[in-house]
Structure 1
Amino acid sequence: MRDAVYARISEDDLGTERGVNRQLEDGRALSAARGGQVVMELHDNDVSALNGAHRPGYETLMAAATSRQIDRIIVFHTSRLWRNHRERADGIDQLKAAGVSVLSVKGPELDLQTAAGRMMAGILGEFDTAESEIKGERVARAALERAQQGRANGAVLYGWRRVYTFDEQGRRTGFNDEVDEEEAEVVRSIVARLLDGGTLRGITEYLNEQGIPAPGAGQRRSHRAKGQNDTGTLWNKTSVKKLALRHANVGLRLHHRGRPDEALLPAAWPPIVSQDDHDRVIALLSAPGRGVKGVARPGSRLHLLSWGIGECGVCGSHLRVARKGNMRYGAMKQLYFCDTKGCVGRDRDRVDDFVGRVVIARLSQPDAADLLAQDDKAMVEALARADALRAKLAKAADDYVDERITAEQLHRITARLRAQLTEVETTARSAHVTPHAKLVMEMAGANAETIWSEATLNQKRAVLSTLLKAVRILPVLRRGPGFDPRTVEIVWRGGSGDN
């Protein structure tokens, strides 16, 4: 008999492959005991078979069976071969047509060319599927309970440390996640740098230059992100962004991300970022058009107005920077140009200087705070309402623990409050938020000119994006030397200031 030994393990986070290797070893021994010859060994490690996930080893196995390269498949148990209803039915039909049987280390041999063999394969398979589905229901129910109690679903998150509790016999009874000040400060610094005009790339480079280990550093992983080292100590833009956007930062736990019943629930761990800063970071990193794939952004963050709020006053395109002029007379200058048609062009340094003087003048006025005027009332009320609902959820959980209410009452109360909380949080997220309000207010006042001159390019761009809708370069009114400020139109947000 030409035997193919197949092994599968559903979970192997560390990628050790010890489980599949044990199955393969037992399969070889069984083949030898039954007088077979192993002509093929295949495995799928860390892959579930319940939901029809891609299994390269299984697909190769079935292709070999269909092409009649093997006579028998040896598995540790039939559940290693099939867990999915449809995949099992298709597999039985294919093996029947190919005349290939299935032999289990811990189970019977199934002759799929007979009705009895196919019936037995179906019965065993239904038990295998039911076992997985029942386990899934238990896991889902436990996950819901953890979410309702605000407990972490797995390993401790970056920014906190796990402290376990024990009973008198030294047995572990539970845990609490407390703030890890060193890691929490890293998270706060990321948020602060973003709100201070920093970029994801710049923050990533800073963290790596400082030698600060990334989340998960030192943990054994079967896969690493592109550009990551073996120990996982390096940061990348994705890890920085995810850390900044986590609802966990403000003491919230996201349950069933992306599903119809997705909900934000109060977490059992303390917050490490203020709700205000969190809202502003979300508004900043979720801005329309940010990080659009496939769009080249030449000059991005190299110039004040290029690929930002700078616009062509004729066609509305972005501005780019190019060197133009006559080298013979030493007149080569960097100009802002319309990126699409070249409709307009203007001296970059003079435009930047003019825009800077206008912004400084406005920030120096006593009513500079009016530049940030916005309808925050709805957001403030929504956030206060959300806090009240979370308090009610926490009280309901305490009442259940203290046996003041039943499990059924807790379920009804939680379902109702969660629906209200989701609605309120949606209202709060939809309210307008100014991401760089703190940076602008620090620059406002008598020292505006000094602070502007010392600010980085990214900080200046952040201030402009907060205060202005656009800076439009208009066609020249007259030919000749000199710079005409009338050809630069400054459009303030909310209609504040002069154009």
Structure 2
Amino acid sequence: MTQNTTNPQRKAVIYTRISEDRDGGQLGVGRQEEACRKLASDLGWVVVGVKVDDDKTAYGRNGMRAKRPAYAELLDMLAERRADAVLVWHTDRLYRQARDLEPLIDVVERTGSVVRPVTHGELDLASASGRMVARILASVSTHEIEHGRERMKAKHKEKRQAGHFPGGIRGFGHKPLKKRAPGAPPQVPQTDPREAALIERAAQDVLAYAADPSTGRSLGAICRDWNERKIRTPRGKEWGIPSLRVMLTGARLAGLIEHTDPETKQAEIVGPASWEPLLDMETWQAVRQVLRDPSRNTYTNRPADRQIKYLGTGLYRCPKCSEVIRAGGAHKGEGQRYRCTAGHVTQYAEPIDYVVERVVIARLTRPDARAAFSAPEKSAPAGLSMEKLNASHAALNARLEGLVEAFADDDESDPVEFRKASRTLRTRIAEIEQQITDAVTAAASAREPGPLDEVDMPELVRRHEADPDDALAWWRETLSLDSRRKILATLAVVTLQPGRRGRRPAGAPEFDPESVRIHWVRTDGTEV
């Protein structure tokens, strides 16, 4: 074919993407690249690079952009003028949402680059009308994805209510399902006798060990035994305590459907499943109760080498989802970071801790510090009998367990009525637990010293007036990390705003102190 001489020769970078590559063969992105190279030949353009995001979605959630390394490299090539054209199969390979389109528009406006999809003509991002069309296409693409997710959610909800297998990888104890033909009825997972026997033995060992550690086996011992015998998870991996605990406490073993709400992270039993239970209800409930017992949590009694090492772990909060932020995600050769569990916030830990402690010290050295952070005098809460509260808590839990058991045994039970009754009981249990917490807190605060009692305030004030950095060094040397965390948890609520997106402007600091928000409270939780 004769080259198109009306187009000036450009340095083109090819971008290909596919959301899901199940076999890892990259056939989808390969076909896209082939079509783009043919178009480059027709246009007389020189291909100077190929950027591939294989098995990467372009749809970001929770207000965040999807992580696509190759797309970021593509924008860098255009910004640095190493390329002045983009070849792509279709615009939805480049962007699915407006938040991904805007950086591309910015680069095109500054560099005069062009975008040429294979499936239609040049994408005009240099004019207001062209940008309007591009943004409309992005909105349409976003709508298609969101509409598809709504249909998928409705489909999964229907399957859960009918007790059908939700799909995905098989559960341990069940045989793999065969590929279902279109229009065929839903398949029912069949019991794997060998794995079912292992589950039964593990459940009995857990219960025996809980009653008497000299008998039965711990979760760790069961994992070691299974791994030595080459017994693997359904994903082909070795067993660990977390994966074993999740498997043994899953409602699937009792022949029930359980669903975890992705927004609230709360799990609830929807109703009976279509498959046979692998454990009887009484055994499963006993195992679940043992493995979910809060007293088993060794987080606060962990060995010294596993103690919390960063000030804000579990204390700092994300402003978007209000979840606590934890340390994690450090890359090799870089400092530790604080990360929100939902991915909203990622910031380096050291400068944040420095700012927070400097501000805390400055606030504590003010003359009104003790008066401001002391809890107002108040009488002990009335009407809180721990004996009655504990009895009510036990009775409500027994009613909830009985409700679950009755629902599982009655094939004609109404799932809607079950969820309504279950939700009522859970709400009441949560209220009782809050009353117990309030009573324990009130009793503890009456006999325990305040968080500032171990601080030599005159010395802190003297050092801070002379040199704030010396005061910080003294603060850290004098008080343990645990003590400093208790003071911070008692006196303030710290939220971390997301850091700057994209490239940092020349001369701008790597850390923005304004991203740290501190809200002061008294020792009783009331605002200062």
TM over 0.5: yes
Q: What is the aligned partner in structure 2 of residue 443 from structure 1?
A: none
The corresponding residue for 1:464 is: none
The aligned residue for residue 271 of structure 1 is 277
Q: Any conservation in 2 of the 1:379–1:427 contact (CA below 8 Å)? A: no
Matching of residues 129-140 of structure 1 within 5 Å: 129-140=142-153
Change (3 A) 1:6 1:166: closer
- Correspondence 1:127 to 2:140: yes
Q: Name the stretch that deviates more: 86-95 or 241-250.
A: 86-95
Using a 3 Å threshold, how does the CA distance of structure 1 residues 151 and 378 change in structure 2: closer, same or farther? Answer: same
**Equivalent residue, structure 2, for 1:358:** none
Among 97, 116, 130, which residue is 1:84 paired with? 97
- Match of residue 282, structure 1, among 271, 277, 288: 288
- 1:379 is displaced (CA, Å) by 3.7
Deviation at 1:182, TM superposition (A): 1.7
Q: Can you list the C-alpha shifts for 1:226-260, whole angstroms capped at 9, x where unaligned?
A: xxxxxx4x323332222122121112222244433
> Is 2:19 the partner of 1:10?
yes
Whole-Å Cα distance in 2 between the matches of residues 91 and 64 of structure 1? Answer: 11
Distance of 2:229 and 2:148 partners within structure 1:
45
Cα offset, 1:139, TM superposition = 0.8
Aligned residue number for residue 33 of structure 1: 42
Given the superposition, is the C-alpha separation of residues 173 and 284 from structure 1 closer, same or farther in structure 2, using an over 3 Å criterion? closer
Stretches of structure 2 lacking an aligned partner (at least 5 in a row) = 1-9, 210-216, 306-390, 434-528
Alignment check: 8 A CA contact 2:396 2:425 kept: no
User: Is 2:111 the counterpart of 1:98?
Assistant: yes
**Alignment match of 2:199 (pick from 187, 211, 231):** 187
Mapped to 2, the partners of 1:274 and 1:392 lie a distance apart of 15
Matched, 1:259 2:285: no
Q: Distance in 1 between matches of 2:91 and 2:405?
A: 51
What residue identity is the alignment partner of 1:202?
A
Alpha-carbon distance, 1:164 to partner:
7.2
Aligned twin of 1:148: 161
**Alpha-carbon offset, residue 14 of structure 1:** 3.8
Contact kept, 8 Å, 2:98 with 2:139, in 1: the verdict is: yes
Residues 31 and 84 of structure 1, relative CA distance in 2, 3 Å threshold:
same
| AA of the residue aligned to 1:192 | Q
SS of the residue 1:174 aligns to: coil
CA distance in structure 2 between the partners assigned to 1:196 and 1:390 by the alignment: 25
Asked if structure 1 preserves the Cα contact closer than 8 Å seen for 2:21 and 2:55, the reply is yes
Q: 1:166 to 1:66 in 2, by over 3 A?
A: closer
Deviations along 1:161-213, whole A, 9 cap, x unmatched? 3667999xx96333122322222222222222222322232211100222223
Contact 2:98-2:135 within 8 A present in 1 as well: no
- Name the % identity: 26
| Corresponding residue to 2:57 among 48, 52, 60 | 48
Partner Cα separation in structure 2 for residue 293 and residue 81 of structure 1? 47
Contact 1:72/1:103 (<8 A) preserved: yes
Is 1:59 aligned to residue 86 of structure 2?
no
The residue identity in structure 2 corresponding to 1:239 is S
Quick check: 30-39 or 171-180, which moved more? 171-180
- For the 8 Å contact 1:31–1:37, the answer to whether it is kept is yes
Q: Is the 8 A contact 1:7 1:23 kept in 2?
A: yes
Q: Is the 8 A contact 2:89 2:119 kept in 1?
A: yes
User: Of the two structures, which has the highest relative contact order with CA contacts closer than 8 Å and spacing of 6 or more?
Assistant: 1
Query: Residue type matched to 2:286 in 1?
Result: R
2:302 paired with 1:295: yes
The change in CA–CA distance for 1:417 and 1:202 in structure 2 (over 3 A counts) is: closer
The answer as to whether partners of 1:389 and 1:421 remain within 8 angstroms in 2 is no
Write the deviation string for residues 130-163 of structure 1: whole angstroms up to 9, x where unpaired: 2212111111111111111121221332212366
Check the 8 A contact 1:165/1:173 in 2, yes or no: no
**Is the alpha carbon distance of 1:379 and 1:274 closer, same or farther for their aligned partners in structure 2, counting shifts above 3 Å?**
farther
Counterpart residue number, 1:159: 173
Distance 1:95 1:417 in 2: 57
2:225 alignment counterpart: 206
Distance in 2 of aligned mates of 1:374 and 1:133: 44
Cα distance in structure 1, aligned partners of 2:162 and 2:106 = 47
How many matched pairs? 324
2:404 maps to 386
Q: TM-score by structure 2 length? A: 0.55
Per-residue CA deviation, residues 382-416 of structure 1 (Å, 9 max, x unaligned), is 222234456789555xxxxxxxxxxxxxxxx73x5
CA contact (8 A) 1:11 1:45 kept: yes
Q: Match for residue 406 of structure 1?
A: none
Indicate the residue corresponding to 2:422 in structure 1.
Answer: 421
Task: Say if 1:127 and 1:374 are closer, same or farther in 2 by CA, change over 3 A.
Answer: closer
1:60 Cα offset (Å): 1.3
Structure 1's 417 and 24: CA in aligned 2 closer, same or farther, altered over 3 A?
Answer: same
Larger strand share, 1 or 2: 1
User: What is the CA distance between 1:49 and its match in structure 2?
Assistant: 1.4
Letter in 1 for 2:92: S
Q: Is the 8 A contact 2:164 2:186 kept in 1?
A: no
After superposition, the Cα gap between the structure-2 partners of 1:427 and 1:143, relative to the gap in structure 1 and judged at 3 Å, is: same
Secondary structure in structure 2 of the residue aligned to 1:128: helix
Aligned 1:325-474 pairs, distance under 5 A: 378-389=396-407, 395-396=413-414, 414=416, 417-424=418-425
Paired letter, 1:96: E
